[in-house]
Amino acid sequence: MSIKPTLLVLAAGIGSRYGGLKQMDQVGPSGETIIDYSIYDAIHAGFGKVVFVIRRDIEKDFKEVFIDKLKDRIDVDYVFQEINMVPKGIRFSSDRNKPWGTGHAVMVAEQKINGPFAVINADDFYGGGSYRVMADFLTNSSDINEYSMVGYRLDRTLSDHGHVARGVCETSQDSYLKVVTERTKIENENDKIVFTDEDGAKTGLTGNETVSMNFWGFKTSVFDYLNKLFMQFMTENSNDPKAEFFIPAIITDLINNNAAKVKVLNTDESWFGVTYREDKPIVIESIKELVSKGIYPSKLWC
pLDDT tens digit sequence for 275-285? 777 888 999 99
pLDDT tens digit sequence for 104-136? 999 999 999 999 999 999 989 999 999 999 999
Distance CA 102, CA 211 (A): 17
Over 70: is that where the pLDDT of 94 sits? yes
Q: Is 109 part of a structural domain of the chain? A: yes
Q: Is 298 part of a structural domain of the chain? A: no
Q: Is 302 part of a structural domain of the chain? A: no
What is residue 68's three-state secondary structure? helix
Look at the chain and report how many structural domains it folds into.
1
Over 80: is that where the pLDDT of 22 sits? no
Distance CA 194, CA 229 (A): 33
Q: What is the CATH number of the domain that holds 93?
A: 3.90.550.10
Over 70: is that where the pLDDT of 64 sits? yes
pLDDT tens digit sequence for 213-232? 999 999 999 999 999 999 99
Over 50: is that where the pLDDT of 271 sits? yes
Q: Is 52 part of a structural domain of the chain? A: yes
With CA atoms as reference, report the closest residue to 264 among 150, 94, 135, 163.
Answer: 150
Over 90: is that where the pLDDT of 62 sits? no
Q: Is 288 part of a structural domain of the chain? A: yes
Q: Is 284 part of a structural domain of the chain? A: yes
- Measure CA 22 to chain center: 14
| 20 vs 145: which has the higher pLDDT | 145
Indicate the pLDDT class of residue 190, thresholds 50, 70 and 90.
confident
The boundaries of the domain holding residue 243 are 6-292
Decide if 161 contacts 276 (C-beta within 8 A): yes
Q: What pLDDT does 18 receive?
A: 37
Indicate the pLDDT class of residue 87, thresholds 50, 70 and 90.
confident
Q: Is 206 part of a structural domain of the chain? A: yes
